[in-house]
Amino acid sequence: MKLLVCISQTPDTTANISFKDNDTAFNPDGVQFIMNPYDEWYALVRALELKEAVGGTVTVLNVGPSTNDAVIRKGLAIGADDAVRIDAEAVSADFVAFQIAEYAKDKGYDAIFMGKETIDFNGAIVPSMVAEYLDLPFVSQAQHMDVEGNTATLKRDIEGGVEVLSVDFPFVISAAKDLAEQRIPSMKGIMMSRRKPLNVVPAVDFVNPVEVVHFAKPPAKSEVKMIDPDNMDELVNLLHNEAKVI
C-alpha cells in the first residue's frame, strides 16, 4: 500500500508559552520543538505497522520551513521511507489542508494518516478538510484499526460510547491515543534517516481566509483557597455561595 502520513511540528508539551510583536505572534525563543505526538506516536506508527503487514511505502509530509527538517528526519528515523516538505509557513488549518491535498491529489495514496489535532492549536480541522478536497471517506479520532483485504474496521470513542466503523480503501484517518504504541528511533534508524530522500516542494497559491491577529493569556488564577479537611460543610458552602456552581 502507498501510505502518506502528515506530520506537524509543535512546541514541546511542557513548553512555556509566550508571545511577541505586541502579542501577535508565538515567541519561539527557548522553546523546544517536537513532532506533534498524535502524528508521531499513533498516525505514523500505525501506518508503519500497516506497511509491515501488507508491504508498500510510507511517506511523511510536512508543511513548514527548513527549520522543521530535524523533526521530519525523526519521522524517517522511526521508519518512513521518504519525506516531503512543502516549503511555506503553516499559517492556518485552511492553508495546510489545501497544500496537503494539492500535493496528494494525483499520487494515488491508499490511505492518508494524521493526528486528530496538533497539541498547539488543538484545531482538529485539517484532517476532514483534506478528506473533502480529495473527495475521500474519513474516519476521525480512530483508536483501533484492523485491516483485511481492502477494508478497514475502526473503533473510536464517541460521546457516550464506543463506535465501530468500517470503510474501504482509500480513505483519510485521524489518529487518537491507542491507535498504536510509540516507537523510539533506533541508532540504525537514525543513521539510515540521513540517507533517505527529503524532497522540498514549493507551496501552491492560496488565498488564506483566516489568520490569528492577537494572542492573550488567560487572567491569572487567584490564589487557591485552602479548606480544613475536617470542615467539608465550609467547602460546600463556598461552592454554593461564592463559586455558585452547586
Partner 1 sequence: MILIYAESPEGQLKKVALEAVTYGAKLAKAMGTTCAALTIGNVNDAGSLGKYGADKVYNIPGDSVDNQNIARAVADAAEKLDAEVVVMSFTTTGKSIQGRVAARLKAGAVSGVSALPDLTDGFVVRRPVFSGKAFADYKITSAHKVLSLMGNAIPLEVLGEPVAVESIDVPLVSCKVRKLSVEKQAGGIPLPEAELVVSGGRGFKGPENWHILLELAEALGAATACSRPVADMDWRPHHEHVGQTGLAIRPNLYIAIGISGAIQHLAGVNNSKTIVVINKDPEAPFFKAADYGVVGDLFEVVPKLTEAVKKFKA
Looking at residues 174 to 203 of the shown chain, list those that interact with partner 1 (rule: CB under 8 A).
Answer: 176-178
Site membership for partner 1, residue 5 (CB under 8 A): no
Burial class of 36 by CB neighbour count within 10 A (0 to 12, 13 to 18, 19+):
buried
Out of 138, 189, 192, 203, the residue judged to bind partner 1 by CB under 8 A: 138
Cell 494518516, residue located:
113
Binding mask 147-166 for partner 1 (x = CB under 8 A): ------x--xxxxxxxxxxx
Alpha-carbon distance of 218 to 143, in angstroms, equals 32
Site for partner 1 in 7-26 (CB under 8 A): 11, 13-14, 17, 19
Site membership for partner 1, residue 168 (CB under 8 A): yes
80 within 8 A of 44, measured Cβ to Cβ: yes
Q: Residue 7's closest CA among 94, 53, 70, 57?
A: 70
Kindly state the smallest distance separating residue 174's Cβ from partner 1, in Å.
8
Q: 210: how many CB neighbours lie within 10 A of its CB?
A: 11
Kindly state the smallest distance separating residue 82's Cβ from partner 1, in Å.
26
The stretch among 47-55, 72-80, 93-101, 182-190 that binds partner 1 (CB under 8 A) is 93-101
Shorter beta-carbon distance to partner 1: residue 27 or 57: 27
The stretch among 47-55, 58-66, 77-85, 132-140 that binds partner 1 (CB under 8 A) is 132-140
Site membership for partner 1, residue 115 (CB under 8 A): no
C-alpha cell at 210: 483566516
Burial class of 203 by CB neighbour count within 10 A (0 to 12, 13 to 18, 19+):
middle
Alpha-carbon distance of 196 to 59, in angstroms, equals 11
Shorter beta-carbon distance to partner 1: residue 165 or 203: 165
Site membership for partner 1, residue 33 (CB under 8 A): no
Q: 90: how many CB neighbours lie within 10 A of its CB?
A: 20
Shorter beta-carbon distance to partner 1: residue 93 or 198: 93
